[in-house]
């Protein structure tokens, strides 16, 4: 077969059977010539399985304090340049009320790993937000199964915990003091407890190979993740990886498009980090397989203090501005803002 025919056959296989072997994924990840065909196939699969609606999730970044020391993250414990904040409970609830008033049907509560928010405080926050008839996604890192159970019992619907990389050795190098096995344990516990499970990976971290990205994609299928967020690695000057090369927009969206082909009915965000690399990043991502956007609803000075990576977009905007801006972008490409809670479609 000629190269074109071979690549086209792989794309057709992915589009029709939603399966690829590791070698086939590697071939598609390495190819640069027929990327447009991969993106077009992902867009068709997105349209067929989850439709034209885009789900918006209002993101509340409620604490930038973190006990972990991940080398790639601006909020790492050893970064003394960050001025640390922690929102009080009333402020968190207030932001959730406002998120609802902007029309969001889900709030995502995200923070560094901040033990001040113990299980009792989180349960109280979750219960109060549930009274607003919002879906709740929690993203606060690694906890025991019992703690996850308590969040679930309180009404949390979804949990976001990226594996970041399925390469165990690389993971443990980049996340000193953390255990890859424990992160896997967390992901399987969350799935078993009935959360909609969100995970995902970084693209372009130093030491990562194309083969390991293929493993990441196959792992997402294996665990039957309900949402997958892919972010390009963007080196933060205040971290040990300051001088490393970052990931590219093209490869990040390629990984995302392949995930759409293999997990056709899941929710996939057009991530903020993608738009930080390309001014049209979220719209392009929505046309390459994504069907979710997570606008920030954190207000005031806190918005500038939650810098996982430099160049983060919208840090000087208000939540109301972001709401109308993103609506304009979505309708501008002929898509529609969803008015549902946006659970996984499950149409396969």
Known binding-site positions for (3R)-3-methyl-D-ornithine: 139
Token duo for residue 139: 């993203």
Exposed/middle/buried for residue 271 (C-beta within 10 Å: 0-12, 13-18, 19+)? buried
Asked if residue 108 lies in contact with residue 137, where contact means CB atoms within 8 angstroms, the answer is yes
Considering beta carbons, is residue 162 or 260 the nearer one to ligand MET? 162
DSSP of 239-254, one letter per residue? Answer: STTTTS----HHHHHH
Q: Is 112 in the site for ligand MET (CB under 6 A)?
A: yes
The distance of closest approach from Cβ of residue 13 to ligand MET in the complex, given in angstroms and rounded to an integer, is 33
Q: Taking contact as CB under 6 A, which single stretch among the options 135-143, 228-236, 238-246, 286-294 is the one that binds ligand MET?
A: 135-143
Q: Is 174 in the site for ligand MET (CB under 6 A)?
A: no
Residue of minimal Cβ distance to ligand MET: 141
Q: Is 141 in the site for ligand MET (CB under 6 A)?
A: yes
Nearest 10 degrees: Cα torsion 76, 82, 88, 89 = -40
Asked if residue 96 lies in contact with residue 127, where contact means CB atoms within 8 angstroms, the answer is no
Per CB under 6 A, contacts with ligand MET among 301-330 are 308
Which residues contribute to the annotated binding site for S-adenosyl-L-methionine? 164, 183
Which stretch of DSSP H or E encloses residue 229? strand 227-232
The 269-308 site mask, x for binding ligand MET (CB under 6 A), equals ---------------------------------------x
Q: Is 110 in the site for ligand MET (CB under 6 A)?
A: yes
Q: How far is CA 186 from CA 147, 159, 195, in A?
A: 11, 10, 12
Considering beta carbons, is residue 50 or 70 the nearer one to ligand MET? 70
Interface positions with ligand MET (CB under 6 A): 68, 75, 110, 112-113, 139-141, 161, 308
């Amino acid at each position: 077969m000629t190269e074109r025919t071979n690549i086209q056959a792989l794309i057709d296989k992915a589009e029709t059977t939603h399966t690829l072997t590791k070698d086939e994924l590697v071939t598609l990840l390495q190819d640069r010539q027929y990327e447009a065909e991969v993106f077009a196939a992902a867009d068709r699969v997105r349209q067929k399985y989850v439709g034209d609606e885009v789900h918006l999730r209002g993101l509340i970044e409620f604490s930038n304090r973190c006990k972990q020391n991940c080398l790639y993250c601006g909020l790492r414990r050893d970064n003394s340049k960050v001025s640390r904040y922690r929102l009080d409970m009333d402020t968190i609830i207030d932001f959730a009320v406002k998120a609802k008033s902007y029309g969001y049907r889900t709030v995502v509560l995200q923070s560094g790993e901040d033990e001040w928010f113990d299980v009792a405080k989180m349960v109280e926050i979750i219960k109060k937000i549930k009274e607003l008839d919002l879906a709740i996604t929690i993203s606060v890192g690694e906890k025991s199964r019992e703690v996850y159970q308590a969040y679930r019992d309180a009404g949390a619907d979804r949990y976001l915990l990226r594996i970041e990389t399925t390469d165990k050795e690389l993971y443990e190098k980049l996340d000193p003091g953390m255990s890859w096995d424990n992160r896997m344990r967390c992901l399987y516990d969350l799935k078993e407890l009935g959360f909609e499970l969100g995970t995902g990976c970084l693209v372009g971290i130093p030491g990562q190979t194309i083969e390991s990205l293929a493993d990441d994609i196959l792992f997402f299928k294996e665990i039957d993740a309900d949402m997958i967020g892919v972010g390009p690695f963007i080196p933060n000057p205040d971290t040990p990886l300051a001088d490393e090369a970052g990931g590219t927009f093209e490869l990040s969206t390629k990984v995302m498009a392949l995930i759409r082909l293999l997990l056709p009915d899941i929710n996939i965000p057009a991530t903020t980090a993608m738009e930080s690399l390309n001014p049209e990043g979220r719209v392009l991502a929505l046309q390459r397989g994504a069907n979710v956007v997570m606008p920030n609803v954190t207000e005031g000075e806190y918005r500038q203090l939650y810098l996982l990576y430099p160049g983060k977009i919208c840090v000087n905007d208000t939540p109301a501005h972001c709401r109308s801006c993103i609506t304009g972008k979505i309708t501008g490409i002929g898509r529609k803002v969803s008015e549902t809670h946006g659970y996984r479609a499950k149409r396969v």
